[in-house]
Chains A and B, each alone.
Chain A
Amino acid sequence: MSIEDPYELLSKWFEAKEYLVVGKSVTRSDSIEKAIGKARFLEDYYEPGRMLFVKQLLSTEPHAIIESIDYSDALKLTNIVGVFTAKNIPGINNVGYALPDQPLLAEGKVRYHGEPIALIASWDIDDAFKALEMIRVKYKRLTPIYDPLEAMERKDILIHDEQGSNIAFTTKVRKGDIERGFSESSTIVKNTYKTHHQEHAYLETEAALAIPDIQGRINIISCAQYPHLAQRIVSKVLGIPASNIRIITPYIGGAFGGKDDEGPLVAAKAALVAYLTGKPAFLIYSREESIRIHPKREATIIEYTSGVDDNGYLKAIKVKIIHDTGAYTNRGPYILWRATMHSSGPYYVPNAWVDGYCVYTNKVPQGSFRGFGNPSIQFAVESQMDELAKKLGIDPIELRLKNLLRPGMDTITGQKLDHSVGVADLVDKLARKMEWSKVRRELEDWNKRSNRYKRGLGIGVAWHGISTSRGVPDWSNAYIKIERDGSVNVYTGIVEIGQGTPTTSYRQIVAEALGAPLEYINVVFGTTDAPDTGATHASRGTSIGAIGVLVAAAKIRERLNRLASDILKTNPENIVIRNGRVFDKISNREIRWEELIQEAYNRGVEVSATGYFYLPKGKFDDKIGQGFAYPAYSFVAVAVLVEIDTWTGKVRVLKAWPGLAAGKIINPTQVEGQIEGAIAQGIGYVLYEKLEFGSKGEILNADLTDYVIPTIQDVTLDVEKPVYVEDKYKYGPFGAKGVGEMAFIPLPAAIANAVSHALNKRVTTLPLTPENVLKLIGGL
């Protein structure tokens, strides 16, 4: 028998000393198709007139009882096939992910301005718009609440009556004894931090096309980041078995978490129309609808107290985290959990007391966005670290190096980190490479000479747990089959949202493990035809998603080694398969890959396999917030240099120095792409992007003119090559951990610290728009 045990296979490949394609900047397989317009995105499947066009009716009230919906006039238009509301849902309308509080289509009540109420199905686009104008909704207004602090106090106005409170969910961590910790502290810093929403602004808005087929199944071309979740949600809404629902995913024009929340709901709405009418149904969000409807990055209020002793060691933290979750919790509890678990930053803290509150308001819901609750808390943590360093009179890097987690230490949830903890090395290496102290000193001199412009250097260091929080089950899987001609198909549920996982790292991993030429590997991504792979979120596409890919490929490789050893009359250990050459390293006898596969078919050796792997996790006790939080952490540090025009309040990031301790780097160019993209998105978040809410809680800037995302002129192009510490994680594929979200997480902290350094004033509130910066300076 060949080895089939996933642990054995993973550890065998973990030990690899040299690599053929892993670790190389292999070019993506989708680049040219995308450049010449051949790559298919969602709308490319829509054919006007031959499919129903679906338009959504959205609430124009923030908090109201729906008394009636009258669409009788709309139905008189020739091209209108139907108008559908919650009443028409054959299955279950409730689609809440974390708590059962969210309807697909508003039922009885609306809770935010922009909430979907009805779906109009029309053969013609113009008629769909006409129908929209003809539907009359009668509302009975209720008092709205927009401020989370007020919502926490009010019992007389409940956004969800059934909850009995506007506090939807709470979290906590209790470690050690904070009173003792603070009494041992000689320096204590206390601040309240505020962060704002962020709109994803992926350039492709949400869409789905649902096509009923002859076997009574529904095929959905979807933009969801987790096809199997979309399948589950559709199954629930329609009340039909999941096996009757097939999800496929084309290329997706950016997602960043937003299509993890909204994607399954878009699929369910299109599927509902297709199911009720028997016709293919296409739903696309306009830019305005996209901004009004889908959940946003968390807006937070964080009260943070930290204490250090004379030697600069952290002794205690006390933290209160409030998340404005908007009208629905969506993934709010998970986001709050992540913020809570990470609330110490990547530091050793012996005593911690943390409380988290996820609070309803009548605004757009909070949701998943690159970093998932972590950028806001790291902003607080890292601002505290700089303030502590300042009070102690020591360099911010020095204070961090004293306190950073090292292998063998435990986190604030009491989880011992036994390996893959490269953060201290990382910070040390980055600070040396960029000559941190020298640059800081030079800037301080520069500032003495410069009146109008001030410059500052700041760093953000952060950690990010891989996989789901608190020991919640997570797994990986994939299905691989080698065709008779030697070409290889890999089936995965992981989607291609621009990150390049299926189009680079999966091909590399399979080519490495099988020894087949890279160009023979084809990855079929984003489909429920693959086994449930989990979502493309939480930086898990390569870190977790690829475990299954590696295990499946490694299983087949073991079988091929045996087969080749039979053919070449040697031991399996002597077999080398690389880039399509199969040879015995002793005798140098050789056959070609194609011949080997042909022989496998002839001799009855199976060349297909699944790669199921259930991630080993520990227990977590919710009551005290102690226990196993994550299987491993990725670590990141980014330093930025900023320049502030003190007359206008405008901040520019002039340069960034990123560093990552994310285990084995599978494809450096793709990793750089994630880092550079995250830095630009972080610059946008901190300096330019801000949702404006009107008196009805409506988003006033639901377009890309007034919601400003950075152009090529607004970012820094001076991003240094990343510093890597390859602190490999034993269950990661070749030791890889997650990358996608990382560089975003410390960015708000890094920029805020740099601005604080330049102005010698503590930034506690984001964004750093010119107006807010002038206020900070005292000029407004």
Chain B
Amino acid sequence: MKVRFILNNREVEVDVDPREILLDTLRYRFGLKSVKRGCERGECGTCTVLINDKPVYSCMVLTVQVEGQRITTVEGLVNDDLFKKIIVSFAEKGAIQCGFCTPGFILTAYALYRIKDKPSIEDILKALEGNLCRCTGYKKIVDALTSIRS
């Protein structure tokens, strides 16, 4: 099936099997390696992408469902100021260890900060509860995010 959507600000078209998940399409057809496979069941958040600016597990979405939608991964945000602010804060605060969860956390946080520039701690925790991290204990991730509240 042919599907057209906007991927990182570019219009793209792919011909996919109706059962193909967006995670596979992004990794295998577009080489977007920031989208990680942690569980393939909507449990871990490592495959998070933004669909129309909202964080979504790409393993739970069929590619045919994103016809006409806007998909963003971290690769598409490298020149974005808010994104840069978030990643620099993550790096400086030591919020990145193995890094497997990191793009997912950053996209989720980015989506939150786009709609709220002064989120409360509760907002941050609520937003990030669907992203698992087994390394950091989350403290430095929260530190990184609270320190950029403007």
Minimum Cβ distance to chain B for residue A501 (Å): 11
In B113-150, which residues have CB < 8 Å from any A CB?
125, 128-142
A286 to B106, CA, bound (A): 24
The distance from the CB of B15 to the nearest CB of chain A, in whole angstroms, is: 15
A-B contacts, 26 of them at CB < 8 A, read A31-B96, A31-B99, A32-B91, A34-B102, A35-B102, A37-B33, A39-B99, A43-B36, A251-B98, A253-B99, A254-B98, A286-B40, A287-B40, A498-B135, A500-B97, A672-B94, A680-B136, A681-B137, A704-B39, A705-B41, A709-B134, A711-B129, A711-B130, A712-B125, A712-B141, A713-B129
Interface size class of B (residues with CB under 8 A): 35 or more
Residue of A nearest to B77 (CB): A36
Indicate if the CB atoms of A669 and B128 lie closer than 8 Å.
Answer: no
Which of B36, B125, B133 is in CB contact (< 8 Å) with A204? B36
Q: How far is the CA of A170 from the CA of B149 in the complex (A)?
A: 57
User: B101 on the interface (CB 8 Å rule)?
Assistant: yes
Dominant SS at the A interface?
A: loop
Contact B134 A34 (CB under 8 A): no
> With A36-B87, A203-B44, A676-B139 given, is the CB distance from A712 to B131 under 8 Å?
yes
Minimum C-beta distance from B37 to chain A (A): 6
Given known A251-B98, A704-B41, contact A36–B75 (CB-CB < 8 A): yes
Minimum CB distance partner of A706 in chain B: B43
Measured between alpha carbons, how far is A43 from B100 in the docked complex, in Å? 12
Supposing A25-B94, A203-B98, A498-B99 touch, asked if A704 and B44 sit within 8 A by C-beta, the answer is: yes
Instruction: Judge whether A35 and B87 touch: CB under 8 Å.
Output: yes
* A355 on interface, CB distance cutoff 8 Å: no
- List 4 tightest A-B contacts by C-beta distance, closest first: A37-B34, A498-B98, A34-B99, A253-B100
**Are B43 and A203 neighbours in the complex by a CB distance under 8 Å?**
no
- Asked if A425 CB lies within 8 Å of chain B CBs, one says no
- Distance between B79 CB and nearest chain A CB, rounded to angstroms: 11
Taking a contact as CB atoms under 8 Å apart, the answer to whether B134 and A681 are in contact is yes
- Chain B 65-99, CB within 8 Å of chain A: the 1/0 string? 00000000111001000000001001111101111
- Establish whether residues B136 and A676, one from each chain, have CB atoms under 8 Å apart when the complex forms: yes
| Inter-chain contact B33/A287, CB cutoff 8 Å | no
- Chain A residues with CB under 8 Å of B43's CB are 287, 703-705
Is B103 an interface residue when CB atoms closer than 8 A count as contact? yes
Per-residue B-contact encoding for A482-521, CB less than 8 Å = 1, 0 else: 0000000000000001111000000000000000000000
Which residues on A sit within 8 Å (CB–CB) of B142? 712, 717
Contact B75 A37 (CB under 8 A): yes
> Contact: A203 with B101, CB < 8 Å?
yes
Q: Name which residue of chain A comes closest to B143, CB basis.
A: A717
B contact residues around A499 at 8 Å (CB): 97
Q: How far apart are A445's CB and chain B's nearest CB, in angstroms? A: 28
* Docked CA distance A48–B30 (Å): 12
- By a beta-carbon cutoff of 8 Å, the part of chain B in contact with chain A is 27-28, 32-41, 43-44, 46, 73-75, 78, 87, 90-94, 96-103, 106, 125, 128-142
Interface string of A17-50 (1 = CB under 8 A from B): 0000000010110111111111111011001100
Q: Are B98 and A35 in contact (CB under 8 A)?
A: no
Complex contact A32–B87 (CB within 8 A) = yes
Residue of B nearest to A713 (CB): B129
Q: Which of A39, A709, A717 contacts B132 (CB 8 A)?
A: A709
The reply on A145 being an interface residue by CB < 8 A is no
A220 to B35, CA, bound (A): 23
Q: Are B129 and A35 in contact (CB under 8 A)?
A: no
Whether the pair B38, A203 counts as a contact (CB closer than 8 A) is yes
* Chain B neighbourhood of A34, CB < 8 A: 96, 99, 102-103
B91 and A28 form a contact (CB under 8 A): yes
Q: Residues of A contacting B131 with CB < 8 Å?
A: 712
A36-B78, A251-B98, A497-B98 given as contacts; is B135 within 8 A of A677 (CB)? yes
Q: How far is the CA of A715 from the CA of B128 in the complex (A)?
A: 13
Instruction: Please name the residue on chain B nearest to A47 by beta carbon.
Output: B28
Cross-chain contact B132 with A203 (CB below 8 angstroms): yes
Q: Mark A708-729, 1 if CB is under 8 A from B, else 0.
A: 0101110101010000000000
Further 15 A-B residue pairs, CB within 8 A, beyond A204-B98, A500-B97: A31-B96, A34-B102, A35-B96, A36-B34, A253-B98, A287-B38, A670-B94, A673-B136, A703-B39, A704-B44, A705-B41, A711-B129, A712-B125, A712-B129, A719-B137
CB neighbours of B28 from chain A (8 A): 47-48
Count, A-B residue pairs, CB within 8 A? 168
Contact partner of A35 among B35, B37, B91, CB < 8 A?
B91
**In the complex, residue of chain A having the shortest beta-carbon distance to the beta carbon of B34:** A37
Cβ of B74 and Cβ of A36 under 8 Å apart? yes
**Minimal beta-carbon separation of B144 from chain A (angstroms):** 10
Most central of B28, B33, B74 by chain A CB within 10 Å: B33
B137 and A252 within 8 A (CB): no
Q: Does A13 contact B (CB under 8 A)?
A: no
* A680 surroundings in chain B (CB, below 8 A): 136-138
A302 at the interface (CB under 8 A from B): no
> Is the beta-carbon distance between A703 and B41 smaller than 8 angstroms?
yes
Q: Is the CB of A41 within 8 A of B100?
A: yes
CB neighbors of B among A515-542 (8 A): none
> By the criterion CB–CB under 8 Å, are B97 and A35 in contact?
no
Nearest-neighbour CB distance to chain B for A292, whole angstroms, equals 14
Bound together, the chains give a CA A202 to CA B136 distance in angstroms of 12
Task: Name the contact of A40 in the complex, choosing from B33, B37, B39, B92 (C-beta under 8 A).
Answer: B33
Inter-chain contact A712/B100, CB cutoff 8 Å? no
Give the complex CA separation of A38 and B73 in angstroms.
12
A672 neighbours in B (Cβ, 8 Å): 94, 140
**Looking across the interface, which residue of chain A has its beta carbon closest to that of B142?**
A717
Expressed in whole angstroms, the Cα–Cα distance for A734 and B141 within the complex equals 30
Known contacts being A41-B100, A712-B142, A713-B129, is A254 close to B135, with CB within 8 Å? yes
Most chain A C-beta atoms within 10 Å of own C-beta, residue among B37, B78, B91, B98: B98
What's the Cα separation between A133 and B55 when bound, in Å? 35
Q: A37 CA to B26 CA in the complex, in Å?
A: 13
Q: Find out whether the CB atom of B99 lies under 8 angstroms from the CB atom of A251.
A: yes
Q: Cβ of A677 and Cβ of B97 under 8 Å apart?
A: yes
Kindly report which residue of chain A lies nearest to residue B41, judged by CB atoms. A703
* Least distance between A54 CB and chain B CB atoms (Å): 16
Q: Mark A689-713, 1 if CB is under 8 A from B, else 0.
A: 0000000000000011100010111
Q: A37-B103, A286-B40, A719-B139 are in contact. Are A28 and B96 (CB under 8 A)?
A: yes
Contacts of A719 in B (CB 8 A): 137, 139
Contacts of A715 in B (CB 8 A): 137-139
Across the interface, which residues of A come within 8 angstroms of B138, CB to CB? 676, 680, 712, 715, 717
B133 touches A203 (CB 8 A): yes
Shortest C-beta distance, B77 to chain A (Å), equals 8
Give the residue name and chain of the B residue nearest to A32 (CB).
B91
Q: Which residue of A lies closest to B28 (CB)?
A: A48
B134 contacts A35, C-beta separation under 8 Å: no
A677 cross-chain contacts in B, Cβ below 8 A: 97, 134-137
Q: 1/0 contact trace for A659-690 toward B, CB 8 Å?
A: 00000000001101100111111000000000
Assembled-state Cα–Cα distance A32/B78 (Å): 11
A676 to B133, CA, bound (A): 12
- Selected contact of B134 from candidates A31, A36, A201, A252, CB within 8 Å: A201
Instruction: Contact check, B132 vs A704: say whether CB atoms are below 8 A apart.
Output: yes
**Chain B nearest CB: distance from A542 CB in Å?**
14
Q: Which residues of B contact A47 (CB under 8 A)?
A: 28
Interchain nearest-CB distance for B20 vs A (Å) = 10
In the complex, what distance in Å separates the CA atom of A205 from the CA atom of B131?
16
A252 to B98, CA, bound (A): 6
Output the least CB separation between B10 and chain A (Å). 16
Minimum Cβ distance to chain B for residue A222 (Å): 16
User: Which A residues touch B90, using CB under 8 A?
Assistant: 31, 35
In Å, the complex CA distance between A703 and B132 comes to 13
Give every chain A residue within 8 A of B133 (Cβ-Cβ): 203, 712
B74 and A676 within 8 A (CB): no
A32 to B51, CA, bound (A): 23
Tell whether A673 pairs with B97 under 8 Å between CB atoms, given A37-B103, A679-B137, A717-B138: yes
